[in-house]
Amino acid sequence: MAANGDTLTSQGYIQHHLTNASIGEGFWTWHIDTLGWSIFLGLVFIMVFRSAAKKATVGVPGKFQCLIEMIIEFVGNSVKDTFHGRNPVIAPLALTIFVWVLLMNAMDWVPVDWIPTAASLIAGESWDTIASGNSHVYIKSVPTTDLNMTFGLSLGVFALMLYYSIKIKGLGGFLKELYAHPFNTPWLYWFNIILETIALVAKPVSLALRLFGNLYAGELIFILIAMIGVWQLPIHFVWAAFHLLVIPLQAFIFMMLTIVYLSMAHEDH
């Protein structure tokens, strides 16, 4: 999708790349590109790690097995250092979150025009239509630049927080943490409820917005770089090199906060 088409303005170009492929209306709008890419990348994660498990050997491991073992060991050590309860679900959950979010973030490295152009050509549109900016095919290939995806992940973590809080502490213990902390005084219970409810709700909100904000900003810069035209690739790869830090870092932060929140849910005061 050329950025220098005669009828394609800068605003239109940016808007096109920031628009999701969707079906439905209103609240029931489904972003099918976000769903498709996230499911595809989740399957890639499952297939790669399954392949590594099937080919694993107790002898001298190959490079592929070493890489997978390093990732598992890294996540395992993070869980051991941060999670203070006893739950066999936490380590697999942390591994899934880290690798899945990492793969979704990594789609940011693909030049922004490649996938939309390929999708438009598959849909039967001509080069002239694509270059003029009149393409009706919309696709965003970075799921974590969609607020629906990041909130979906964070709400899943939030549901686990509530589940384990009630399971470990009991419903009474969970509610007592809301109304009797930090001031265990009856006439301040109403104030405690306000403070603790805000703190509780802020966890999934901040978790979702942090991941979304960083990836959305990075994607927007990639789009601005693509508007340069034929000279975009050298600059794209310079910015992509910087993203070698940002993309795994955001996956790591999301994983670590998930471990911390679930560790807090397991603490029985």
Alpha-carbon distance of 222 to 48, in angstroms, equals: 28
Spatial CB neighbours of 110, under 8 Å, sequence gap ≥ 6: 141
Our answer to whether residue 154 is catalytic in this structure is: no
Q: Taking the domains of the chain in order of start, what are their residue ranges?
A: 10-266
81 vs 59, 72, 90, 194, 260, CA distance in Å? 29, 14, 12, 32, 10
Cis peptide bond N-terminal to 182, omega within 30: yes
Tokens 């290939």 — which residue?
141
Our answer to whether residue 141 is catalytic in this structure is: no
Q: What is the pLDDT along the chain (269 residues), one digit of tens a residue?
A: 444 444 567 888 888 888 888 998 887 899 999 999 999 999 999 999 999 999 888 877 888 999 999 999 999 999 999 998 889 999 999 999 999 999 999 999 888 888 888 888 888 877 777 666 667 788 899 999 999 999 999 999 999 999 999 999 899 888 888 888 778 888 888 888 999 999 999 999 999 999 999 999 999 988 888 887 666 777 878 888 888 889 999 999 999 999 999 999 988 76
Calculate ∠ Cα 38-44-49, nearest 5°. Answer: 130
What residues does 23 pair with on adjacent strands? Answer: 30
Cβ distance 254 to 93 under 8 Å?
no
- 36: closest CA among 83, 130, 98, 104? 104
- 269: closest CA among 196, 179, 181? 181
pTM for the predicted model, two decimal places: 0.89
Our answer to whether residue 210 is catalytic in this structure is: yes
Of 20, 22, 148, 210, catalytic: 210
